[in-house]
Amino acid sequence: MNDYGLAAMLVFAYLIGATPTSYIVGKVGKGIDLREHGSNNLGATNVYRVLGWKYAIPVGVIDMGKGAVPVAIFGPWSNGPAWFTVALGLAAVLGHIFSPYVRFRGGKGVATAAGTFLALVPLAIVISLVLWAVTLWLSGYVSVASLAVAALLPLWVRLTAPEQPYTFWASVVLALLIIYSHRHNIARLRQGTENRFRTRKGVAA
């Protein structure tokens, strides 16, 4: 595929990632804008808070697919350079966070990044999912679990796929991007006003 074709594919990956799944579900399912409810974020966690599991699980799966499909399907099809498949995943995550369909107020990028790396380095994502679940159980905060996973993802990528340098550097970039997208959550954690995902025995709500 020539350079124009590769550029078009990157734009397509970005637009796929930008599809505002939770916004669509909120509007179609309940006639509401999720940016005005719960944590005001267009992510699966806020869908759960406002609409429940019935809506949150499909949203989470689709958001992961937005990262996995460009990498797993478009990457091999493009026959591009070694870095291109990784770039497709990055484009999808950027689209999810900065979606032009909703005035660039998308989600935090965690699920779409997970889908991207599930296609690139599945073992690193399995480790990350275990870490995410344990951290969520111990802290009660989705934001803390997501930040912990983002911070440690480059380590798991390095350990499980040392022969993939582009994937490693992509994990570093995405870790920084996800931490940036959680900047308001970090501020609320410092202030003690962050919303808990649930109440665990021994942890005050």
Length of the chain: 205
82 exposed, middle or buried (CB, 10 Å; 0-12, 13-18, 19+)?
Answer: exposed
Q: Using the 8-state DSSP alphabet, how is residue 43 labeled?
A: S
Q: Is 146 helix (H, G, I), strand (E, B) or coil?
A: helix
| Cα–Cα distance measured from residue 197 to residue 205, given in angstroms and rounded to the nearest whole number | 9
| Cα–Cα distance measured from residue 90 to residue 103, given in angstroms and rounded to the nearest whole number | 19
Contact 117, 145 (CB under 8 A): no
Q: Where are the domains of the chain?
A: 3-191
Q: What's CA 82's distance to the chain center, in Å?
A: 23
φ/ψ of 159, rounded to 5, equals -75, -35
Write out pLDDT tens, residues 57-89.
999 999 999 999 999 999 999 888 989 999 999
Contact 133, 197 (CB under 8 A): no
Mind listing the pLDDT tens digit of every residue in the chain (205 residues)? 788 889 999 999 999 999 999 999 999 988 999 999 888 888 888 998 899 999 999 999 999 999 999 999 999 998 889 899 999 999 999 999 999 999 998 899 999 999 999 999 999 999 999 999 999 999 999 999 999 999 999 999 999 999 999 999 999 999 999 999 999 999 999 999 988 875 333 333 3
Q: Which residues contact 142 (CB under 8 A, 6 or more apart)?
A: 45, 136, 197
Q: Using CA of residue 197, residue 65, residue 26, residue 19, what is the dihedral sign?
A: positive
How many Cβ atoms sit within 10 Å of the Cβ of residue 18? 22
Q: Using the 8-state DSSP alphabet, how is residue 194 labeled?
A: P
The model's pTM? 0.88
The CA angle 62-66-68, to the nearest 5 degrees, is: 105
End-to-end CA distance of the chain: 54
